[in-house]
Amino acid sequence: MDSQELRFVASRIRRRDLQAVFEAGAGHVGGEMSVIDILTCLYFNELSVDPAAPLDPERDRLVLSKGHTALALYVVLAERGFLPRDEISTFLKHRSRLNGHPNRVYLPGVETNTGPLGHGLPVAVGMAKAAKLDDRSWRTFVIVGDGEMQEGSNWEAIMAAAQFRLDNLTLIIDHNRLQQGARLSETNDLAPFRPKLEAFGWHVEDIDGHDHSQICHAVSTATGTPGKPKCVVANTNKGHGISFMSDNVAWHHKVPDESQYRQAMAELMETGE
């Protein structure tokens, strides 16, 4: 897809995500809005995956380490054909496959269970190392939140990935500058990320995490350094696309009321056309 087509798809995904949060009365809509453009570019432009064969041994792997934004992943998977689109209406309902955090036992396309922060990158390092050991060409991508980067397990994984020369691994940091209850700068300010990752031996790119052309270029095999794992620092806005949610810490897991829902949906319709 070209950038315009990706923008249309991302807008449709945002609207469906917002609707599901509103109907379920729960969700993490702010972080979902910030990560949707990244997920859209990966699933509709870059990842080698097949909804008809979700366990194909040669598939690329995507780990959503910031598992609290599972709904964004569910909607993307539904758009890509891994599950029926109408199943999104079951989000958080009794016996639904669509839990608040991804579960690989229930849902095709989910590579590993996530939720407890700081676990996704270590798992992804193991996946990438396995591909190297087996001399396979498939790649591993992992998306983490910037607040999640405060977890020490991530930095151990970063060291290991550099030591193992995992150039088949791409770490994407959803750098929206906000975490639950506070700004990153008010808790443990790790920014800027680029010099830190470069010091550990990674290839690093800073991009606009809502510019589809920049995202697609950064995650492609056209960029990178042989023998080095890649990190893409995607500068995003929490609540992107919705004026009263954008860059607002209150919308980590707040649910819009009916008036807010109508306004948000109207804004997303306007920007998506």
Residue range 118-155, pLDDT digits in tens: 999 999 999 999 999 999 999 999 999 999 999 999 99
Assign domain 3-272 to a CATH class.
Answer: alpha beta
pLDDT at residue 86, as a whole number: 98
What are the pLDDT digits (tens) for 188-241?
999 999 999 999 999 999 999 999 999 999 999 999 999 999 999 999 999 999
What are the sequence ranges of the domains in the chain? 3-272
Which tens digits make up the pLDDT trace of 7-44?
Answer: 999 999 999 999 999 999 999 999 999 999 999 999 99
Q: pLDDT averaged over the chain? A: 96
pLDDT at 273 over 60: no
Residue 192, preceding bond cis, omega within 30 degrees?
yes
Residue with tokens 């809005």: 33
Question: What pLDDT does residue 272 have?
Answer: 67
Residue 108's pLDDT is 96
Tens digit of pLDDT for each residue in 39-72?
999 999 999 999 999 999 999 999 999 999 999 9
Give the mean model confidence (pLDDT) for residues 246-258.
94
Residue 90 has pLDDT above 70, yes or no: yes
The model carries a pTM of 0.97
